[in-house]
Amino acid sequence: MKKHWKETLNGLKLNIKFTLVIIMLVILPISVMAGVLFYNMEENVIQENADYMHYTMERNEDNIRKNIDSVNMTAQFFLSDEALLQVLNQTVSEDQMTTEEMMEFYHSNIASLERLVNNNTLLYGVRVYAVNDNVQEMVPILYDHSRMEKMEWAQKPDYTGWNYNYQDRLFDNHDKHKIASLITAAEDYENGCIGVIETAVTMESLFPSLYEDIQNEWSCFVSDEGDLYFGNNRQETSEEFVRLRMEEGLEKNAIHTDYTKQGREHLIVSYLYIKEMQGTLLSVKNISENVQYVYRMRNIFVAIMLVLVVGLAFLINDIVKRLLRQFYEILKSIRAIQKGDLSVRIAGSGTDEMGELGMQINKMLDRIEQLMKENIDRELLAKNSEIRALQNQINAHFIYNVLESIKMMAEIDEEYAISDAITSLGKLLRYSMRWVSGNVLVEEEIEYIRNYLALINLRFDYEIYLSLNLPEEILKQEIPKMSLQPIIENAIYHGIEELAEDTNIYVKGIIEGRDCIIEITDAGRGMNEEQVEKLKKKIAGEIETGGGSGNGIGLKNVQDRIRMSFGEGYGIGIASKLGCYTKITVRIPMTAGRSSYENGLNCGG
């Protein structure tokens, strides 16, 4: 059989062989890519919905935990009310309160507790039940024992802790709301249990996800005893699904989200175990429609591909027949190229695929010649750059000598202020004009800032002082050249200049793990929160910066250069208070320093 197939294949015409090979080469990668594509589409649908459910459960967790804390705090507040506990103790000992004592207790303690409950919008109510009926009821806070016996939870052997999904039966007109409450026993050292505190919230307030009307989503709360509590979004198969999950074992840890199939349904299930409530919040999203849409797209793609393959087979067969006529002409040209004749060009190849091949060969030859020319031009450019760098060094050397001569003239005339200014200017120019590949040391940048401030102070009637608190390790760290000076310049022109009084610029260094932080703080006019947020967005590139003053382009350049040197985890931060200060923090990694300044001196003469 194998020999028969081999003979049959060898007997086929060349255009048929080409057609079969091309079709196979087209179908195989497309099939693989299509399979990967639709698999990824399905996985993306699942992952997106899983992320959505995980995020929703995190939001539910925050809400529930806030509610639990609020309920616990309210219950503890009631337990700490000495007057209330005293009344409950008197009830146990059957001591009677006078009318004046009852009025005083009602108007002070009961009214205060009622305001506390009313001010907490979460609470449905807080009720305190005495252990007997020997108490004067004070609605809506204090009730006798017979009232408590009307409540469903009071029928349990151990009703302390959380109770769920019961109706308010305190009075004959039952409230339709479903209630959850924390039942807390009030204990006394001598009398034991002196009362019961019911801190109640509605189920809808405690578990809003059980009552949200979202298509294809439902939730359930499962207690550790196996009780199920549903809200308005209960589905037909909800209880069956939860029971099956309970048999498999619910996750009793942090939020857990997974994907599962039940019959023909595709489900995303998210769990949240709440230890304080001894139960698990379970949320389910049915994504069957989304997954089925991916399957329909896949089936349509397969059908279209089958039709296209049949049509493509006939088309390729026709094209191959015509391509073979040009094949040898192109082969002849290629042999000439292999011998080193790059001037060969394939002409008159036509407009079909073989013609395209000829055109691409021509373009390739043009590109090779262009690259050869560009390589030569690049070498010339490198040489010219070296020559220009040498010229710049010579020019810088001339400028330094001229400044040195002026300095000497000033010292001869005893103009020492001018001499010091020229010294600072010379150092500043030497730092600015010298060529450095890579970064500089922080101490080099600080020295440049000292000279810059020395020249700036010549302009003003007041003095700007530079206060430094930089460890030696930070002074030896590398930083992009001219990274700190623009921050100092911003501090002067946008924070200090308008104040026109003596002030300080504080530069502080902090080592934090493998990073070092440089804080630059001015006691200038500061900024309000809106200005700070706007400046942060400009630095982050979220708002386009123009070319004017005060638009953040200097700080954005510093940010970009630091991130280009060290990565996205580094850069600058901003903190400011209007009328007080502005602080710029520069975060860079701890690296080994190098004496780039000395290198620059050697290059600059």
pLDDT of residue 244: 79
Among residues 206, 241, 268, the one where a domain terminates is 206
Check pLDDT > 80 for residue 356.
Answer: no
pTM of the predicted model as reported, rounded to 2 decimal places? 0.48
Asked, for residue 108, whether it belongs to a domain, the answer is yes
Look at 425-439, 479-493, 535-549 and tell me which has the smallest mean pLDDT: 425-439
149: domain range?
A: 81-206
Q: Would 193 be classed as within a structural domain? A: yes
Write down which residue in 174, 206, 238 finishes a domain: 206
* Cis ω for the linkage preceding 140 (within 30 of 0): yes
In this structure, of 179-183, 502-506, 536-540, 550-554, the range with the lowest mean pLDDT score is 550-554
Residue 512 sits in a domain of what CATH number? 3.30.565.10
Check residue 66 and give its pLDDT. Answer: 92
Pairing of strands 142-143, 123-130: parallel
Return d(Cα 407, Cα 401) in angstroms, integer: 10
- Of 273-277, 425-429, 587-591, the one with minimum mean pLDDT is 425-429
Mean pLDDT of 193-198: 92
Mean pLDDT score, 87-113: 85
Q: Which residue has the higher pLDDT, 549 or 367?
A: 367
- Judging by DSSP bridges, how do beta strands 503-512 and 515-522 pair with one another? antiparallel
Once rounded to an integer, what is the mean pLDDT over residues 49-62? Answer: 90
Q: Which pLDDT score is estimated for 594?
A: 44
168, 186, 206 - which closes a domain:
206
Q: Is 507 within the bounds of a domain?
A: yes
pLDDT, tens digit (0-9, with 9 covering 90-100), for 138-160: 888 999 998 888 888 988 888 89
Alpha helix segments (H runs only) across 192-287:
203-206, 238-248
pLDDT tens profile 467-500? 999 999 999 998 888 888 889 888 888 888 888 7
Q: Would you say residue 134 lies in a domain?
A: yes
Domain membership of residue 589 (yes or no) is yes
Task: For 546, list phi and psi in degrees, rounded to 5.
Answer: -90, -160
Domains in the chain, number: 2
CA distances from 356 to 27, 311, 345 (A): 22, 21, 13
Low-confidence winner among 16-20, 323-327, 548-552 (lowest mean pLDDT): 548-552
Does the residue 600 lie in any domain?
yes
Give the pLDDT score at 417: 67
pLDDT at residue 516 tops 90: yes
Instruction: Tell me how far CA of residue 1 lies from CA of 7, 10, 235, 323, 386, in angstroms.
Output: 10, 14, 60, 33, 73
Q: Is residue 478, in this structure, part of any structural domain at all?
A: yes
Is residue 453 assigned to a domain? yes
pLDDT digits (tens, 9 = 90+) for 378-401: 566 545 545 444 444 444 444 555
Report the pLDDT averaged over residues 413-435: 65
- Give how far Cα 113 sits from Cα of 88, 137, 597, 604, Å: 15, 14, 73, 81
Q: Per-residue pLDDT for 87 more than 70? A: yes
Q: What is the mean pLDDT of the chain?
A: 80
439 pLDDT band, cuts 50/70/90, is confident
pLDDT of 453 strictly over 90: no
Residues found in the chain: 605
> What mean pLDDT comes out for the span 282-287?
90
Asked whether 255 and 270 are in contact (CB, 8 A), the reply is yes
**Please, are residues 195 and 186 in contact by the beta-carbon 8 Å criterion?**
yes
